[in-house]
A and B are shown apart, each in its own frame.
Chain A
Amino acid sequence: MSHAGDTSQPAPPDAARQEPRLLAAGPDAGWDQHLDTFGPLDADAAAPGLLDALAASGLTGRGGAAFETWRKVTATAESGRKGLFAARPVVIANGAEGEPLSFKDRTLLSHAPHLVIDGLLTLAAALGGAGTYVYAPAAGLPRVRQALAGRPGTKRVRVVEAPETFISGESSAVVNMIATGNAVPVDQRRRLSESGLNGRPTLVVNVETLAQVALIARYGAQWFRQAGTATDPGTRLVSVSGPAPVRDVVLEVPGGVELSAVLKEAGMDPAPLSAVLVGGYHGRWVRPAAHVLSPEGPVGGTVRPGAGVIHALDPHACGIGATARILTYLANESARQCGPCMFGLPAMASVLNRIAGGERNPRLASELDRLGRLVSGRGACRHPEGTTGLVSSALEVFAADFRAHLAGYCVPLGGVAA
């Protein structure tokens, strides 16, 4: 397959097929299968070189923000050393998966919990013996507890249940839940890496990121970079779903993969699809063609994988109606702590539902845009701008549908706006 354009850029992998790395030990892998597949990992021996290896690997967080993992670890390590009394840092494995269309983290925790625990213990060792927590929804906890009990060196790992809310995985909400039992974001005058759980330097890491850390600690940065592209090295798990009869599937795909290749791998023909939601409810709608899945790259041809959600819209469904339902959900999931979010998101949902319902008022689209601009950047967490980003992508991708709705009919259904 040839690619037009700048030849100095490595061509994006045109196939999503990837030798499994994270799930290589097979389904429900126990401690023995884990060791047979990956070999042993001595956390204390791996710790001294870990930061350099993470920096060389280019690993980015797999929970949504795609922040470089080594920077996050370094910031925590540095605040731990600051001041007169060195504070013992804390590492939290974040398995909360509030995104309704995401299931890759629970799949990973159920099949490869030992890889996640490896990553947690190795990072804790690299931070000079940090406190360790696993934070996961109730359904995943028995498997985590079983894995912890079945291996040495895990007596001090504490397990905390994550509530099933959209926002429970936001890093300050994670810390707040462990500290106070209330999984809502807190105002961050200081970063968690400076002052998190009980004022300690705190590192909240997505469980898939930890599993990647465990592989890099074993096999090194060069091995990690054998998959993916120079700007998006390694692999990532994606939760792929679509209209029936498409089955929900977790795929491990190389960085910089073509979106259409991922859809094909999941059993879908991208051609008739009208739009794909990428990244989750804080992600974007895109046309399936000509998009590469990567945290960085030229605007227009790149879509950020976010939390790894890829959801194809039913070609017979109305994108505005689908977005209105998501926006209503997101407005309801506001923690109702911050005014602009508490009032702004329901106001946006109300306007979008009026458009979806067929109200012929040409000012509604610009009002939706205005409200999005108003709430963005104004909250303790990123819920407002995440929500606004999704809505603005809908205004862009479903522009023709918006015009049709405001003129009194709905394009995908070919009928009157319902």
Chain B
Amino acid sequence: MTAILHIDWTSCDGRGLCTELLPGVLDRDDWGYPVARGKSGRERTDIPLRDADREAAQEAVSLCPKLALSLQERMEPARESRKPGR
């Protein structure tokens, strides 16, 4: 089981609380929006977490003022990179 932190970019406003709670996982970009450190592609929207970050991630989910974060548990390996749709 891997915990996945999902960012709903349509809700995210770049308030930055998550980047303060998860400094090792999230950086801020030029405009203040979170960027997953060391990740590429869709793993910057569905970010796999280390167990050590789970608790802080849970806190970020409940404190995000825009309700843009959610935690998911995933059993299978990473999602296929090619997904249906454009």
Q: Do A and B bind each other?
A: yes
Which residues from chain A sit less than 8 Å from chain B, CB to CB? 61, 63-67, 71-72, 75, 169-172, 185-187, 189, 191-193, 204, 282, 307, 337-341, 343-344, 347, 374, 376-382, 385-386
A85 CA / B84 CA spacing, docked (Å): 25
Choose among A71, A192, A377, A385 the residue with the greatest number of B CB atoms under 10 Å from its CB.
A377
Nearest B residue to A184, CB-CB:
B10
Number of A-B contacts (CB under 8 A): 93
Contact among A67, A170, A343 with B31 in the assembled complex (CB-CB below 8 Å): A343
Query: How far is A204 from B84 in the complex, measured between Cα atoms in Å?
Result: 9
- CB contacts (< 8 Å) of B70 on chain A: these are 189
Main SS at interface, chain A: loop
Q: Is the CB of A204 within 8 A of B10?
A: no
Known pairs A339-B12, A377-B43; list 5 more (Cβ under 8 Å). Answer: A67-B84, A376-B44, A377-B41, A380-B8, A386-B86
Q: What are 25 pairs between A and B in contact, CB < 8 Å? A: A63-B86, A66-B82, A67-B84, A71-B84, A72-B84, A75-B84, A169-B86, A170-B85, A170-B86, A171-B86, A189-B70, A282-B86, A339-B9, A340-B29, A343-B30, A343-B31, A344-B30, A374-B29, A374-B35, A377-B41, A378-B33, A378-B44, A380-B10, A385-B41, A386-B86
**Cβ contacts under 8 Å, A169 to chain B:** 86
A187 and B10 contact, Cβ closer than 8 Å, known pairs A170-B85, A193-B84, A374-B35: yes
Given contacts A63-B86, A72-B84, A377-B43, contact A189 B29 (CB under 8 A): no
Chain B residue total in the interface (Cβ 8 A): 29
Given A189-B8, A339-B13, A377-B42, A65 and B86 touching (CB < 8 A)?
yes
Looking at the assembled complex, report how far the CB atom of A104 sits from the nearest CB atom of chain B, in whole angstroms: 15
Indicate whether B11 reaches chain A with its CB closer than 8 angstroms.
yes
- Interfacial chain A residues near B82, Cβ < 8 Å: 65-67
Query: How many whole Å from B7's CB to the nearest CB in chain A?
Result: 8
The 7 A-B residue pairs whose C-beta atoms are closest, nearest first, are A171-B85, A338-B9, A377-B44, A187-B8, A339-B33, A337-B10, A67-B84
- Give the A-binding residues of B (Cβ under 8 A): 6-14, 29-33, 35, 39-45, 70, 72, 82-86
Report chain B residues within 8 Å CB of A337. 9-10
CB atoms of A67 and B8 under 8 A apart: no
Nearest A-chain residue to B70, judged by Cβ: A189
Q: What's the least CB distance linking A294 to chain B, in Å?
A: 14
Contacts of A344 in B (CB 8 A): 29-31
**Is the beta-carbon distance between B11 and A187 smaller than 8 angstroms?**
yes
CB pair A378 B35 closer than 8 Å: yes
Contact between B9 and A380, CB atoms less than 8 A apart: yes
* Cβ-defined contact, A338 with B83, below 8 A: no
B44 to chain A, nearest CB (A): 4
